[in-house]
Amino acid sequence: MRKFLNFGPVRFVLLILVFLFMGSLVRANDLELQKIESAEGVAWLQPCEEKVLGVDILCNKIWKQDVGKNSITFTISEDPAVLLTVARSAEVFTGIDELSLDKLKKMGHYAEGFDLQKLTIGSNPAVKVQGYSEGYPDIRLLDLYVYHDFRIYSFLFSVSPGQDWERFSVLVSDMIKSISFVDPKK
């Protein structure tokens, strides 16, 4: 027993290296922890204020941004193609209920079987739509329509191919949780 515990410094270093190497191979069995371990881009998120739209959301400032009059599109990844478009309606609305099921389907070009859920973002009523693109079944969508200050704000996430959705689900979730509104600058 004494000989086993009494080994030289070289063996001690080797033993430590083996423990370190073996420890790095241990992965979580819990699906939620696996998502977090493999989450794409979460570490680089920072607050991004889109002054023209009046929206604050977490983003990565190195993402390509295409800015329009009432929208901005972030290219989160090119391969797989992951996009976020944030837009503010030009049309005035009296409430989120103006977005009927048929209107949402036409706006988002959703394939049959999409999931619709009412929720709130901050104190703003919202609708979340999850599903696939009509005509492009390989594109997975998660879209939020938020009613704020008589406008509908759209937060449109897409991933293609759709099987890569899990890689970006934590990133998308963190971005959604960060949404807030500020006074838009003209």
Domain extents in the chain? 40-181
What mean pLDDT comes out for the span 142-163? 96
Report the pLDDT value the prediction gives residue 42, as an integer from 0 to 100: 66
Confidence category of residue 51, pLDDT binned at 50, 70, 90: confident
Task: Give the pLDDT score at 28.
Answer: 43
Who contacts 105 (Cβ-Cβ below 8 Å, separation ≥6)?
Answer: 114
- Residues 6 or more apart whose CB falls under 8 angstroms from that of 168 comprise 39, 40, 41, 76, 77, 82, 159
More confident position, 148 or 185 = 148
For position 43, what pLDDT does the model report?
74
Is the Cα dihedral 98, 99, 101, 106 positive or negative? Answer: positive
**What average pLDDT does this structure show over 44-60?**
88
Please state the rounded mean pLDDT for residues 144-168: 95
Return the minimum-mean-pLDDT range out of 21-30, 90-99, 101-110, 124-133. Answer: 21-30
Summarize pLDDT for 123-134 with one digit per residue, the tens: 999 999 999 999
Nearest to 80 by CA among 41, 130, 113, 37: 41
pLDDT bracket for residue 49 (50, 70, 90): confident
What pLDDT does residue 9 have? Answer: 56
Taking all residues of the chain, what is their mean pLDDT, rounded to a whole number? 82
Q: Return the CATH fold of 40-181.
A: Protein Transport Mog1p; Chain A (3.40.1000)
Separation between Cα atoms, residue 37 and residue 156, nearest integer Å: 25
Lowest-confidence region among 15-24, 34-43, 62-71: 15-24
